[in-house]
Structure 1
Amino acid sequence: MNARQSRLDALRSLRERETESVYGWVLSTAIPPGLQQSLQTAATQGLVELADREMRAELSAYEGRPVLWAARLSPQGHDVLTYQHASPDPTPHSTPPAATEQVIELRPAQMDALRVYANLAPVLRVPPADGLIERVRTACFDRPGNRWRMTLTTEQIDSVAYAFHLRALSGSVAEANWFAREYGVTYRVDPSTGRAGAVRPPSRTASL
């Protein structure tokens, strides 16, 4: 286990004990020695608050016995756990795509455009396909390739095409043109019906 994961595990353990604490502080009696050492280190990084002499005296009065050590998450520690929970998994997904799914790779600027679409989901008349927002949130970044990777269903890929279609109509056609070349999916109006929708070559449709 690397240092980052160890630090996160220590903060999570402290948070769990903190929610059960009567005083909002976790006393040494509730902390295993190894965890206490990790929290001491986290305190030097501003992620944990250690009770000072005055607070320990107050806690001792509550407990009716000497309290020599107590800790709680700092505001920054709370934010680290909140941010980590909401952040994409930094490691690549190892599960292969299902037969109805495809791995999509987007450059950072393209991913930014897709995130705008995902963030607007509550107010859009044509919202993202089911599950796309979660796939965007948990996309993996391949640093060597400078690409965001997602495994998407056919419906979710169509939504990506629609997102880039909106981008094209509002200013930049680069994303839509690239997506059409790379994945064979475009979003356009059918002149015979006047209805817009995702279009892909028959071979692409059959393979998804």
Structure 2
Amino acid sequence: MSDRRTLLAALRSFHKREQAAAHGWVLDSDLGPEQRRAVKSAAKQGLVTFASIEERAALPMERRVAWAARLSPLGQDVLAYADAGPAPAPIPDQPAPGELLVQLRPAQMDALRQYVNLGDRLHHPPAKELSERVRAARFSGPDNRWRLILTPEQMASVAYAFHLRSLGGSAAEANQFGRDYGLVYRPDPTTGRPKLISVRTGRSMSYPQARLKQA
């Protein structure tokens, strides 16, 4: 249950079973092997609580109950918080013409999330729908990468986010993005203002001119 989407789906499914249970507890016998493992994993994160011996004994059951569980207050809060916000936009299965499947390291994704969370507080806010694409990103455990599909405008915004990161701390995220996708921000020698640069050509680029480099 480490994946956020899988976690929320499992919690919602479990909560429905809990609401349908006459006694307010989901029993071990109500679930299959995979679901029981998911419940135990959620319990380790404090999202599910197990009934005590006394609580199990008080259940109106004719047989012995190995365990009974229900959402903890934290688990309830997680669902309430997730359901209060806008639903993540579904990520397309394949990039549309002019878009690119981008794979970011966890540190890069952290920097990008910080950027999109600032939103309109920035003088150069995130490109249109970038925050939705970030929320819809999927994590690939074997690759240790976040996968998301971006337009050229969104790619430029990501490069700008990493440029901010490089000026305020680490340049690793911007350097990696430049190696993988050929886009970086660098200060213009005459004006000092940042410009989007193609690593391959060294030329400055506007959004429509951006050519996305396949990783």
TM-score (norm 1): 0.60
CA distance in 1, matches of 2:71, 2:127: 38
Unaligned stretches of 5+ in structure 2?
A: 24-29, 50-54, 56-69
Letter in 2 for 1:169: L
Match of 2:160 in 1: 162
Contact 1:87 1:138 in 2 (8 A): no
Task: Give 1:173 shift.
Answer: 1.4
Q: CA RMSD in A?
A: 4.8
Match of 1:149 in 2: 147
Task: Give 1:191 shift.
Answer: 2.8
Unaligned stretches of 5+ in structure 1?
A: 17-25, 29-36, 53-71
Residues 83 and 177 of structure 1, relative CA distance in 2, 3 Å threshold: same
Structure 1 residues 125-144: aligned runs within 5 Å:
125-144=123-142
Q: Report whether the alignment pairs 1:108 with 2:69.
A: no
CA distance in 2, matches of 1:116, 1:199: 23
Match of 1:177 in 2: 175
Contact 1:88 1:140 in 2 (8 A): no
TM-score (norm 2): 0.58
CA distance in 1, matches of 2:8, 2:107: 30
Task: Give 1:192 shift.
Answer: 4.3
Residues 87 and 78 of structure 1, relative CA distance in 2, 3 Å threshold: farther
Residues 116 and 141 of structure 1, relative CA distance in 2, 3 Å threshold: same
Give the structure with the larger helix fraction: 1
Task: Give 1:9 shift.
Answer: 7.1
Contact 1:87 1:137 in 2 (8 A): no
Task: Give 1:147 shift.
Answer: 0.5
Contact 2:152 2:210 in 1 (8 A): no
Letter in 1 for 2:181: Y
Contact 1:187 1:196 in 2 (8 A): yes
Question: Identical aligned pairs, as a percentage?
Answer: 51
Contact 2:91 2:133 in 1 (8 A): no
Question: Deviations for 1:50-106, whole angstroms, at most 9, x for unmatched residues?
Answer: xx9xxxxxxxxxxxxxxxxxxx976344224235556998xx956100112111111
Contact 2:186 2:195 in 1 (8 A): yes
Q: Report whether the alignment pairs 1:198 with 2:162.
A: no
CA distance in 1, matches of 2:165, 2:130: 17
CA distance in 1, matches of 2:131, 2:115: 9
SS at match of 1:120: helix
Task: Give 1:207 shift.
Answer: 4.2
Equivalent of 2:185 in 175, 184, 187: 187
Structure 1 residues 20-39: aligned runs within 5 Å:
none
SS at match of 2:156: helix
Give the aligned length. Answer: 182
